[in-house]
């Protein structure tokens, strides 16, 4: 069975590579993936799959039903690009497929995810007679901060699904490897905007004003005690102030300062307690100085928690296909992913596909304008496609009947 999969992967690989380059040339932002989803629909339709489109504006769900009854596995790829101007000196530009759209770029590898899942759909559709159960292909819009997984789920993307699998390009991991976590994999990602409202005045008479700048500085410092003094040292948490803006002239007391930040956690109880903790600190500092405040705290993506059984299945299948030395078990990441919504509803596993150029010491990370996953394409795309198809083909999954 593995040989049959490998043969079909080799056959479809050139087309997958060219489609990925096409997606890269034509990046589309969240909920704008009209051209991308059109290409996806055309490809899947030619395979004879059941296709639903227009989900959450641009999402696509395709179903491959095997010839025998069995379980249902969902494979997910995200399609959206980022508002990033691509650098002109890295791999894509050198090889003639840089972004053609000013200010937009596939800087997070979603073009790769989408093209590879099309390849997997092709391989498995050619093995339909061997499939027991259903393979569901989820082409999701708007992963980058807008939660495109939610409308997909509302449209029934994981209804009746026994296992969901998602992956992401991993530039910190060597090409040809897979990295995963057992249990918590990625953090909950929450955000806040805070305004400190003082009273402006002349810089020579601070006693007649309420200076928002030193008050904001005290708030920033005090917020750092949340992790150091309010969170169990054995728990993971991050409170980061990412922007701060205030003042407009050197001799004017700033009447207002605005800052934005992010809070990252894994534990649900801890996560739910932190909005009140943040506000308690802000209120105390503001009251002490006679200032007011406005706090907007938004709960964003929950934590991605890999199902232990699903992680074990992926780990075993990947080891059989790639070799045990190419499968890494890693600590969880404080980054976030809306794959979390799928994992809240069905057993799921999210993993990283290594794409760091072999031997490279310096490399561009995700969201960089120079991000260029290793284009030893026949190695890393083939590895992922084989692993994706190969783990479905494990007898233990109950999804494929071996010949």
82 DSSP assignment:
B
What is the number of alpha carbons within 13 Å of residue 111 lying toward its C-beta?
29
Q: Is 129 a catalytic residue?
A: no
Catalytic-role residue among 143, 144, 338, 388: 143
Q: Which one, of 365, 185, 328, 165, lies nearest residue 264 by Cα?
A: 185
The dihedral region occupied by 168, where left means phi > 0, alpha psi between -120 and 50, and beta the remainder, is beta
User: Phi then psi for 250, rounded to 5 degrees?
Assistant: -70, -20
Handedness of CA 122, 128, 131, 137 (dihedral sign): positive
- Cα 91 from Cα 88, distance rounded (Å): 9
DSSP H stretches of helix in 164-306: 212-223, 225, 268-288
H helical segments located in 247-403: 268-288, 308-322, 340-345, 377-392
C-alpha 32/C-alpha 256 separation (Å) is 36
Query: Active site includes 80?
Result: yes
Q: Which of 80, 134, 162, 211 is catalytic?
A: 80
Q: How far apart are CA 344 and CA 317, in angstroms?
A: 23
For 318, left (φ over 0), alpha (ψ -120 to 50), or beta? alpha
Residue 43 tokens read as 């490809």
Token digits of residue 248: 């407009």
Residue 70 tokens, joined: 């069995």
Catalytic annotation, residues: 80, 143
């Amino acid at each position: 069975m593995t040989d049959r999969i490998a043969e079909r992967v080799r056959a479809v690989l050139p087309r997958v590579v060219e489609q990925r380059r096409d997606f890269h040339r034509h990046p589309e932002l969240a909920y704008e993936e009209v051209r991308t989803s059109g290409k996806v629909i055309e490809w899947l339709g030619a395979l004879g799959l059941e296709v639903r489109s227009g989900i959450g504006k641009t999402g696509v769900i395709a179903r491959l039903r095997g010839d025998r009854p069995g379980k249902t596995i969902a494979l997910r790829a995200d399609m959206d690009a980022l508002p990033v101007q691509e650098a002109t000196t890295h791999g894509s530009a050198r090889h003639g497929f840089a972004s053609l759209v000013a200010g937009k770029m596939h800087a997070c590898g979603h073009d790769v995810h989408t093209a590879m899942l099309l390849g997997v759909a092709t391989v498995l559709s050619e093995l339909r007679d061997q499939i027991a159960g259903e393979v569901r292909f989820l082409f999701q819009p708007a992963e980058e901060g807008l939660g495109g997984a939610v409308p997909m789920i509302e449209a029934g993307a994981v209804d009746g699904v026994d296992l969901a699998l998602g992956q992401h390009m991993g530039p910190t991991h060597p090409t040809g490897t897979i990295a995963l976590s057992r249990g918590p994999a990625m953090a909950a990602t929450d955000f806040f905007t805070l305004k400190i409202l003082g009273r402006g005045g002349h810089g020579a008479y601070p006693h007649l004003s309420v200076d928002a700048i030193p008050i904001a500085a005290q708030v920033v410092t005090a917020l750092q005690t949340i992790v150091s003094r309010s969170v169990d040292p054995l728990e993971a948490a991050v409170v980061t102030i990412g922007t701060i803006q205030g003042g407009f002239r050197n001799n004017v007391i700033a009447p207002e300062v605005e800052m934005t930040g992010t809070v990252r956690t894994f534990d649900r109880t801890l996560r739910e307690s932190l909005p009140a903790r943040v506000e308690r600190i802000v209120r105390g500092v503001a009251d002490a100085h006679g200032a007011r405040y406005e706090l907007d705290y938004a709960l964003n993506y929950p934590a991605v928690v890999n199902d232990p059984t699903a992680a074990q299945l992926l780990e075993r299948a990947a080891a059989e296909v790639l070799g045990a030395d190419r499968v890494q078990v890693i600590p969880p990441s404080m980054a976030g992913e809306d794959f979390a919504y799928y994992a809240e509803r069905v057993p799921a596993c999210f993993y990283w596909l290594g794409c760091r150029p072999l031997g490279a010491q310096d490399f561009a990370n995700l969201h960089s304008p120079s991000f260029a996953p290793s284009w030893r394409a026949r190695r890393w795309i083939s590895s992922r496609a084989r692993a994706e198809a190969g783990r479905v083909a494990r007898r233990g999954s109950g999804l494929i009947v071996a010949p």
